[in-house]
Structures are given as C-alpha cells and as structure tokens.
Chains A and B, each alone.
Chain A
Amino acid sequence: MPPLPGEGTAAAIAQAVRAGERTAVDVVEEHLARIAGREPAVHAFNLVLADEARAAAARIDQVVSAGDDPGPLAGVPVALKDNLCTRGTPTTCSSRILEHWVPPYDATVVSRLAAAGAIFVGKTNLDEFAMGSSTENSAFGPTRNPHDLSRVPGGSSGGSAAAVAAGFAPLALGSDTGGSIRQPAALCGVVGAKPTYGLVSRYGLVAFASSLDQIGPLATTVADAALLLEVIAGHDGADSTSIPQPGPRDLVAAVDEGVEGLRIGVVRELTEGADGDVAARLEEAVRALEAAGAKVDEVSVPTAAHGLSAYYLLAPAEASSNLARYDGVRYGLRVDAPDVAAMNYATRSAGFGTEVKRRIMLGTYALSAGYYDAYYGQAQRVRTLILRDFETAYATFDLLLAPTTPTTAFPLGAKTSDPLAMYLSDVCTVPSNLAGHPAVSVPYGVGDDGLPVGVQVLAPALGESVMFRAAGALERRAPGAQRDAAPGAQRDAAPGGQGPGRP
C-alpha cells in the first residue's frame, strides 16, 4: 500500500530526514519491506539494490548527525529506469545484449540525485531499449499494473510507474521518447512529466532516438514531480544538446499558484480517438480548470493527427543508427563466430528481441537508398509542420490539454501480436516529443473499469512552470483528491466519480 498523500511524499520524507525527525535507514527499510511484499507479483524491478540502499541511508543519517544537510532529497528512495547508467551496477535496458553490462560511469541525473541525498532502491524494468508501450517487450518478463495484475502498466517506463504506484519508492526516473513516461504514469495512476528537450542531460541515458529522448520524473504528487525535476534539470557540458542555462527553480512553487486567468486549449485531434470514459474524465477536468479560473476552449492542431506516423518513421530511423553500436566488439553480448561479420550477425540476432529487431528493420528501411526522402525526409518535414501548428496554438493559449492515452490499462497480451495497435497507444503523447515540448500526465479519476485515467497538460518549450500550475490545479480537483491536505487548494467540490482504489 502506498502511503496516503502528504505522509510518504518525497517532500515530507526529505523534510523529516533533514530535520532529524526520521532516519533515512527507517525510510529505506519501510520501502524495502513494501518491495519484499509485492515485488514478486508486480515485477517492477530488474534489480533491487537493498544492501546498497541501506548503506547509502546510513551515510545520509551520518551527515544529518554531523549537523550537515544531505540535500533536498535527503533519504528519499528513488527507482531508476534500467536504461540509466549506474557506475558499478548493471544497466541492462531489459535486453539480452546488455544483460551483463556494468557501466563504468554514472548518468548525470544519477550523480545529481546522489548529490541531493536520494537513495537508489533499484533499477526498473522497461520495454527493451525503451521500445514499447506495455513493458511486455522486456527480455526479463513483463511488469504488471499494481491496480490490476492482469493489466499492463504501460511502457516503456512501466517498471518505474509501477514502482511508484505500488509504494516501492515515492519517486522514479523514466525516459520519454514517444510517451514512455506519461503513458505508464497515466495507466498506473501516478504523475509523470516529460521535460523540454535539452532541459535534462541525456548523458548516461542509453540512446534510443536521440532527437526525441528525454529523462523525466514519476511521482505520487505533482509537487514531488516538480521537486525531482528541479534537482535533475540544468545545463550539462557532457551532453551537447543540453540547453545552456541553469534549470528552473520555481517549479515546486508553481504547483500551488493556481490557474486564474490562464488560457487553455483542448486539442481536438488528440481527443477524438479517446474512449468514452477517458473523454468524460477529460471533460470533467476542463470544467474543474474553468472552476479554478482558467479560460478553456477547443483548439485545432491539425498536423498533430499525423504525429504518430511521423514518429514511427523518425524514431526507428534514429534507433537503427544508435543500435548499430551493439556489434559484439567493445561491450555487451558476443556470440562467437569464425569472422567478424558473422560474429556481428550472430550477436545481434541472439541479443535483440523481436520488437527491437522490428524497429531496427523499419528504421533501416526508412533510411535506405531510394526510400530515404519518401519516408525519413518527409517525416522530418512533417515534424516542422507540427512545430508550426503548435506555435500557432500557443499564440492564443498558454497551455494545451489532451488525454494522455486513448484507453485505460489493457490486459497483458492484448496487443502483442499487432504492433500497429500497440503503437496507437502513443497517439496522444508523440506530438510533444516531435516538438521537443514539455508535457505532464496527471491522474484524473478512473474509467468504467475502475482503472486510472490520465489527463495531459502540454506546454511550449521551457513552459514547465506554467505547466505545473495547471497540473497542480488538476491534482487538487481530481476525483477523490484529498483537497484538505493540499496547500493552496480552493475547497469547491470536485466533479464526478471516485478516485482510483489504492493498489
């Protein structure tokens, strides 16, 4: 059982540990006990770092005892997606080809979290190389949705979302190339944010599609997601695509600022395909934002409807190039053969799973002679059109609103034999990746099946602060929200429904 809102949040834990009111060791033991109880059923982790977490917690407690401040995430358990490099700790990407790889360096986000006093409790499961929307493409078996073990948690950061939803850690990091933070956050009933491209360093994130990949937070509350993002954001010289300016420091404060006077557009093209119950929750979210003082209208972003098609040409193309490095020479799996070319073939054929092979094939085809301009080139031009359409929309609106996913969590196995059906899970999330814009999924009630529904707030580049204002307002007014516990909340009735049952 996850703690009630306010009790076990990252913010509350860090405050108590810094003040010497709780020990980090106690906090870690409490979370390891939860992991011991439910992890066998959920399978959120590829690796639980129990001993390492205990040792790190003891060091944090010593810092506090010595009268020093361990940092803004003092003693807070964090789960890391297993495509984030951890020095001396295996980083598998849920792939056979990296099953025994131990990185010789830390990702920048990992260093920043450690410096902020966070404690890593494990490496979370994912779709192999982050390619998938259900975490069923893991070479090490699927993760299950803590709300209903017969359902997927979403993906590719399904392990991170499930870990947060199950109370294994109040915070997790994921990566989002086409929705891989937001979609599992929505299906697991937690908050998940994809920051502006370049706001968070990708150094040490194993590359999938480099012009789309971005690391971001998953959390039980919007304020915790904002806190985690503040810790990891900001320029890093080790990533040449990192935006050369300090990260924002006003995100946590923005959560309670409210939405009075904000202009919010509901994106017609991203709403049309949603199931009835998801569309109904979105409509309730619109009314809640209006009640909180925002001005909400419908808006058309015409080329957003083509985002999915463009994405499934661009992302596999970049992936086919990035994954060429797994050749059995320098690290990772090698399957021996008499000559190098045969060794390359044997290694890659044995090491990659079906979905990864499918994407490499799709991308290689889209980049191959004779097809390059018709597929890859055209998709890049459509990416420009999508950016222009967003620019037009943001001339009138401060923020945009859409469902995070068209449906609630689907049963395991429901889409594994039909890749296109699986890809359609990403239809509402890919436009933000193509544009490089931030977006956040906030839990908003449940569907007809009782499973969580996510509402997505989209913002222009570097619009995280205003994005978190709307996310905070939605959280306070969501069905079942404990509005009395939320600071700055107005006390009017939340529209409709009950909150999701605690997993």
Chain B
Amino acid sequence: MADRISRDDVVHVAALARLHLTDDELDRFTVQLGAVLDHAADVAALDTAGVAPTAHPIPLVNVLRDDTPMPGLGPDEVLSQAPAVEDGRFRVPRILGEAP
C-alpha cells in the first residue's frame, strides 16, 4: 500500500477534482482521508494474486436495443434548466485566454 496521504497530496487531488479547499479543510481532510486509507490497509493485505477484478455484480455485456427512433426531450426542455442560454445553446464564460 502506498505511503500515508500527505497535505500536498490533498492539495493535488483537490485540483484534480476541481475543488477549492480552505486551509482548515485541507488540514482536516489530510487527517480524515489518512484514517480511512489506514482502515483500508486490511484490503491491501489480502492475497489477490490471480483474482480478476469485479467492476459490476451482474455480468452484462453489449446491451443493445432496437434501432428504432424514439421521441426525446426537446431543446427548450433541455435548456430550461441551464444557468445561462444563448441562441439555443448553453452559454459559458470564456474558455481560452482571449478577452470576453
């Protein structure tokens, strides 16, 4: 099992998860995530050589449906819950570096 999670790890993971954490949250999460991962050490200790992983409890592969046209939600309905809309599309703040 890997080394105990550090505060720097928590800072890195928060960036991956797109979360701003306060200093207090970073301190608490470092301790709390460490405790959960310590508890998980028993899982790491089990011999699983040659054991296939289970991603899903009920094996299902290639679930297909008939290629039949079905009514879907209309654009107005879909866009009705958007925080911002323009010309029938989701409006977002600028993505690249140029001025808005």
Contacts and interface: CB of A to CB of B under 8 A. Distances in A.
B81 A349 contact: no
A379 B43 CA distance: 7
Interface stretch (A28-36, A42-50, A125-133, A366-374): A366-374
A419 B19 contact: no
A12 interface: no
B60 A361 contact: no
Contact of A381 (B42, B52, B56, B60): B52
Interface in B28-76: 29, 32-33, 35-37, 39-44, 46, 48, 51-58, 60, 63, 65, 73
A382 interface: yes
Given A346-B20, A374-B1, A380-B55, A419 B32 contact: yes
B100 A362 contact: no
B93 A339 contact: yes
Given A340-B92, A343-B92, A361-B29, A436 B19 contact: no
A309 interface: yes
Contacts of A339: 93-95
A487 interface: no
Contacts of B13: 361, 364-365, 368
Given A104-B77, A240-B63, A436-B57, A306 B18 contact: no
B25 interface: yes
Contacts, number: 176
A436 B55 CA distance: 11
Nearest to A381: B48
Interface string B1-33: 110010001101110111111000100010011
A63 B20 CA distance: 54
Interface residues of B, number: 54
A338 B100 contact: yes
A349 B55 contact: no
A211 B55 contact: yes
A461 interface: yes
Contact of A384 (B37, B53, B94): B53
Interface residues of A, number: 74
Given A243-B58, A329-B90, A364-B13, A357 B21 contact: yes
B46 A382 contact: yes
A259 interface: no
B47 to A, nearest CB: 9
Given A345-B18, A358-B33, A371-B2, A340 B93 contact: yes
Given A344-B18, A380-B54, A419 B39 contact: no
A196 to B, nearest CB: 8
Contacts of A436: 56-58
Interface in A315-329: 320, 327-329
Contacts of B36: 312, 362, 419-420, 423
Given A197-B58, A357-B21, A361-B14, A309 B39 contact: yes
Contact of A241 (B44, B58, B82, B90): B58
A362 to B, nearest CB: 6
Contacts of B52: 381, 384
A352 B58 contact: no
Given A309-B40, A382-B48, A385-B51, A241 B56 contact: yes
A328 B83 contact: yes
A237 interface: yes
A377 B44 CA distance: 10
A409 interface: no
A152 interface: no
Given A357-B19, A365-B33, A385 B42 contact: no
B53 A383 contact: yes
A197 B35 CA distance: 30
A491 interface: no
Nearest to B35: A420
Contact of B32 (A375, A385, A420): A420
A240 B62 CA distance: 9
Nearest to B17: A364
Interface of B: 1-2, 5, 9-10, 12-14, 16-21, 25, 29, 32-33, 35-37, 39-44, 46, 48, 51-58, 60, 63, 65, 73, 77-78, 80-84, 90, 92-95, 100
**3 cross-chain pairs, A with B, having the tightest CB-CB distances, nearest first:** A436-B57, A380-B53, A334-B83
20 contacts: A102-B80, A198-B58, A241-B60, A305-B42, A306-B43, A313-B40, A313-B43, A327-B18, A329-B90, A330-B81, A331-B81, A354-B25, A364-B16, A370-B2, A371-B2, A380-B53, A380-B55, A381-B54, A385-B51, A420-B35
